[in-house]
Amino acid sequence: MITMPTNNTSTVETTHQEASLVSEAARTSAMETRGIHAWFGKNHVLTNVSLQFPTNSVTGLIGPSGCGKSTFLRLLNRMHEFIPTAAMAGEVFLDGQDIYRPGAAAAEIRLRVGMVFQKPNPFPSMTIQQNVLAGPTLSKTKVADKKDLVEDCLTRAGLWKEVKDRLDAYGSSLSGGQQQRLCIARALAVRPDVLLMDEPCSALDPGSTLRIEETIHELSESMTIVIVTHNMQQAARVSDYCAFFLSEDGPGHLVEAGLTSMIFSNPSDQRTADYVQGRFG
């Protein structure tokens, strides 16, 4: 199992302290996967991924395209199963409970593990306000004060100042970066514990990318974030921990994971070193 040093330690521990680290990490990880495999039909795309996501941190999933990072992400909020030929093995623990246990309500899990997609997808037939409130509307949860919730989510997403005067405008009238921030606000409205982000900035310009990276940083103080990114520099900027995935003529697997600073400056595996130094990708 790949263990993650927690936020409380500032340097990488030596081997004999790992036992205490493991137990600390186990207590403070919001999500944990054990032995995750994924298939599409007979095609084995992901093998044996065991990873912990410490609470209130940002974990970046990096690696060349096609090595199963997005598939892994979708396993974390039970979106993988929507593909007809999808199959999986292993366990994903949210607060100590396997989200794939028999009788687990997938929809409820998705309320606790939110997702922001690569291409901004606000609902075009809904206003900005309706978009933010879409989560509670869909799950038919009562919201005590709608305006408060909308303002809170838009502020946390870094969009409030720009749209506070036009909450009745349609979601599609915003720019790409604004739309993505609206999607973030929408995901926040159901108060998830974990937020998954699948290359959220890849369709955006550098200015919007920067704003969203700032948003991620602020959000990580109160929630756990897992972000898939192609962009190594972004991973270096935004994440506290990194997990490096690789697919070498077979299913994707986890090569190495740990503090971002260590992954980038002193990785244990040569392949990691090659990737972060741009020798392939």
Partner 1 sequence: MTTTFVPDTLVKPGRPWRRTHRSTLATLGFMAVAGLSSTGIVAVTGLAGPLGWYVGFVFSLAVLGFLGSFFRDRVVAVDLFATVLICTAFMTVLIPWVSIFYSVIKRGAPAFYKGYLTTDMLITSSGEALNLGGLSHAIVGTLLMLTIASLICIPLGIIAAIYIVEIKGRFAGVVRFLTQAMSGVPSIVAGLFIYATLVILVFHSFSGIAGACALAILMLPTVTRTAEEVLKLVPDHLRAASYALGASQAQTTFRVVLPSVRSGLITASVLGLARVAGETAPLLLTSGYFIKLTTNVREGAIGSLPTYIFSTLGAGTTEAVTRAWGGACVLLILILILFIGARSLGGRNKGR
Partner 2 sequence: MPTQLVSDASPDASPDNPVGRVIATEYGPSDKVFRGVITSGAMVSLVVLTLIAGFLLFRGLEIFRDFGFGFITNVVWDPGDGIDKATASFGIGAMLVGSVVTAVIALVVATPFAMGTALFLEFYCPSWLRIFLTSVLDLVAAIPSVIYGVWGYAVFMKYGTSWGRALNEHLGWLPFFSVPAPIFERSPFIAGMVLALMIVPITTSVARAVYSQAPRDQIDAVYALGGSRWSGIRHIVLPFGRSGLIGGAMLGLGRALGETVAVYLVLNLVFRINFEILASVGGNVASLIANKFGEAGEYELKALMASGLVLFLVTLLVNFAATAIVGRTRGTES
Phi, psi of 27 (to 5 degrees): -75, -35
Choose, by CB under 8 A, the member of 61, 62, 150, 187 that binds partner 2: 187
Q: Are strands 252-259 and 43-54 parallel, antiparallel or unpaired?
A: parallel
Burial class (CB in 10 A: 0-12, 13-18, 19+), 49: buried
The rounded distance, in Å, linking the Cα atoms of 117 and 142 is: 26
Closest distance of CB 111 from partner 2, Å = 4
Span of 26-34, 102-110, 148-156, 204-212 interacting with partner 2 by CB under 8 A: 102-110
Q: What HEC string does 211-267 produce?
A: HHHHHHHHHCCCCEEEEECCCHHHHHHHCCEEEEEECCCCCEEEEEEEEHHHHHHCC
Choosing from 8, 11, 102, 145, the residue that interacts with partner 1 (CB under 8 A) is 102
> Which residue, 4 or 116, has its beta carbon nearer to partner 2?
116
Q: Which of 11, 84, 145, 233 binds partner 2 (CB under 8 A)?
A: 84
Q: Which stretch binds partner 2 (CB under 8 A): 27-35, 62-70, 75-83, 262-270?
A: 75-83
| Contact residue for partner 1 among 90, 171, 177, 192 (CB under 8 A) | 90
Among 172, 64, 53, 195, which residue's Cα sits nearest to residue 124? 172
Q: How far is the CB of 73 from partner 1 (least distance, A)?
A: 17
Among 27, 83, 89, 164, binds partner 1 (CB under 8 A): 89
Q: Can you state the angle between helices 146-156 and 176-188, rounded to 10 degrees?
A: 130
**Residue count (the chain):** 281
Which tokens go with 2?
A: 């790949």
Binding-site size for partner 2 (CB under 8 A) equals: 24
User: Smallest distance from the beta carbon of 198 to partner 2, in angstroms?
Assistant: 10
**Per-residue binding letters, 120-149, with partner 1 (x by CB under 8 A):** ------------------xxx---------
Q: Element (H or E) spanning 41, and its range? A: none
Residue 114 lies near partner 2 (rule: CB under 8 A): yes
Could you say which of partner 1, partner 2, none residue 130 binds, taking C-beta under 5 to 8 angstroms by partner kind?
none
Residue of 204, 130, 143 lying closest to 169 (CA atoms): 130
Residues that bind partner 2 (CB under 8 A): 77, 79, 82, 84, 107-108, 110-111, 114-115, 117, 119, 121, 123-125, 134-135, 138-139, 183, 186-187, 190
